[in-house]
Amino acid sequence: MKKEELTIRNYVKDSESKRVFEEVFDSTAIESVHELATKGFIDGIEHVVSTGKEAHVFRGIDKAGNNVAVKIYKIEASDFNTMSKYIEGDIRFKNVRKNKRDLVYAWTRKEFRNLSLMNRIGVRVPVPIAFKNNVLAMEFLGENGKKYPLLKEKPPEDSAKFHKEIVAFMAKTLFKGEIIHADLSEYNILNTGDGFVVIDVGQAVLTSHPMAKEFFERDVRNIASFLNKIGEKTGFEELYEEIKQRKGKV
């Protein structure tokens, strides 16, 4: 298919998706999706999965008919100053603070890199597929085309098991990946029914980032408070200690 022939209709099949799609679908986003399509990563965009402040997430399919999650970051609505905080100081991303568009493109690349790193060290996050500009394609997490619920919507059935697993996740990312999620909470973890998958890793920073400690402590605080909500008695100090205990064992 030639780019000139590309219309939103080629990619979107229902009117709600079309409306949401149009919000993020400027000419470069069209080119980006088109490029991912010509490379065979995406064959069509089927439904809106989530509409957010910073990004919209769609369910797409690839040529083989497999589901693919397609996250398209908004350019204009992005928060330049907040995003800068998580990019400046990350040694992988020097000199990107030019304008909103460059920053959002760098952010998308950063999410892809973070997903790759986390997959490599063996923690469960979506498998990254490809990215172009502000469009990121990754493994779709769901069943029969329906995404898994967030832990916020469906808390873990076995809270003790979750407690153990989230400690393992946090220790492994910290000590083996030397990376910190920096927005870890029940809003960014999906419940698969027999476990969980952490998502939304664009803001994750390396431990060499000057604010790494602050971000990590916030993650610990969020998770400690969620664990208490689901009946696992713990606190910031206690959970922090549990994670530290695993140093050298990840």
Ligand X SMILES: Nc1ncnc2c1ncn2[C@@H]1O[C@H](COP(=O)(O)OP(=O)(O)OP(=O)(O)O)[C@@H](O)[C@H]1O
Q: CB 188 → Mg ion: shortest distance, Å?
A: 5
Does the CA dihedral 93-170-127-58 come out positive or negative? negative
Task: Select the residue interacting with ligand X from 136, 182, 199, 212 (CB under 6 A).
Answer: 199
Q: CB 222 → Mg ion: shortest distance, Å?
A: 13
Q: Is 200 in the site for Mg ion (CB under 5 A)?
A: yes
Q: CB 140 → ligand X: shortest distance, Å?
A: 5
Q: Would you name the residues annotated as active-site residues?
A: 183, 200
Is 42 within 8 Å of 70 (Cβ atoms)? Answer: yes
Q: Is 188 in the site for Mg ion (CB under 5 A)?
A: yes
Q: Is 186 in the site for Mg ion (CB under 5 A)?
A: no
Within 8 A by CB and 6+ apart from 27, the residues are none
Q: Is 54 in the site for ligand X (CB under 6 A)?
A: yes
Kindly identify the residues of this chain, within the stretch 130-189, that bind ligand X according to CB under 6 A.
Answer: 138-142, 147, 150, 188
What's the rounded Cα separation, in Å, for the pair 49 and 56? 8
Of the candidate spans 3-11, 54-62, 94-102, 163-171, the one that interacts with ligand X by CB under 6 A turns out to be 54-62
Q: CB 78 → ligand X: shortest distance, Å?
A: 10
- The three state secondary structure string of 216-231 is HHHHHHHHHHHHHHCC
Q: CB 119 → Mg ion: shortest distance, Å?
A: 18
Q: How far is CA 238 from each of CA 59, 176, 206, 232, 249, rounded to the nearest angstrom?
A: 39, 21, 24, 12, 18
Site size toward ligand X, by CB under 6 A: 20
Query: 66, 129, 50, 130: which is closest to 58 by C-alpha?
Result: 50
Please say which residue, 90 or 242, places its beta carbon nearer to ligand X.
Answer: 90
In eight-state DSSP terms, residue 149 is: P
156-177 in b/e form (b: 16+ CB < 10 A) is beeeeebbebbbebbbbbbbbb
Residue with nearest beta carbon to ligand X: 52
Please say which residue, 93 or 140, places its beta carbon nearer to ligand X.
Answer: 140
Binding site for ligand X (CB under 6 A): 49-50, 52-55, 57, 69, 71, 126, 138-142, 147, 150, 188, 199-200
Binding site for Mg ion (CB under 5 A): 188, 200
